[in-house]
Amino acid sequence: MSSRKGGSMSVAEVISKRRSCRAYNEDPVSREDIEKVLHAARLAPSACNQQPWRFAVVTDSQQRTEIIEHGFRVGIKMEWALGAPVLIVLGMKRSLIVHRAAVKVSKIDYPWMDIGIAGEHLVLQAEEMGLGTCWIGWVKPRRLRSILGWPKDIYPAAVITLGWPENPDDPPKARPRKDLDDIVTWLPSQ
């Protein structure tokens, strides 16, 4: 287990404290700590227990640079992410029969929700351990698949940076959130 702070927050504290981290120090993240956040991700629920998530953990500097410089859509600059010692690429493995049938019946593509839940489990576990994370979208799936050597049935969906925050005692400020009254409908009316 890491000697870093973490491990004493409630779920509510972890959720309220978590922010996207875009500045990391140079300290490496241990394999044990990486496995701990991945373990949290794999415990996520999924439709029909399909567990469609796949992860690629990238710690090699050259591979991280290739992902940052070539794995995102044109115009998306993520140079700050080069400072993260770990990139976790979150992918989706689709079951042709189960997933496609579910979309036809419900009109909802559940694997996207499933990998979102898994990714959020990962970032909340990291926060609880004192690690910083940031979701990055706008990926080029084919390019990332090529860089990672993933087969065609795994769809790269996002990259999550992981590392020790450069300024853990000065995290990014909380951004405004909508009031519950603006986002919740009570039935029957309260």
Tokens of 50: 């399909």
CATH for 11-183? 3.40.109.10
Could you report how far apart the first and last alpha carbons of the chain are, in Å? 47
For 133, the 3-state DSSP assignment is strand
Closest alpha carbon to 47 in 111, 93, 100: 111
Query: Measured between alpha carbons, how far is residue 36 from residues 84, 159, 186, 189 in Å?
Result: 18, 18, 38, 43
pTM of the model: 0.88
Q: In a structure prediction context, what are the per-residue pLDDT tens digits for the chain, which is 190 residues long?
A: 444 555 688 898 998 889 999 999 999 999 999 999 999 999 999 988 889 999 999 999 999 999 999 999 877 788 899 999 999 999 999 776 665 666 677 667 788 899 999 999 999 999 999 999 999 999 999 999 999 999 999 999 999 999 999 988 877 788 889 999 999 999 998 7
Transcribe 77-106 into DSSP letters: --GGGGG-SEEEEEEEE--HHHHHHHHHHH
- The domain spans of the chain are 11-183
Tokens of 35: 């496995």
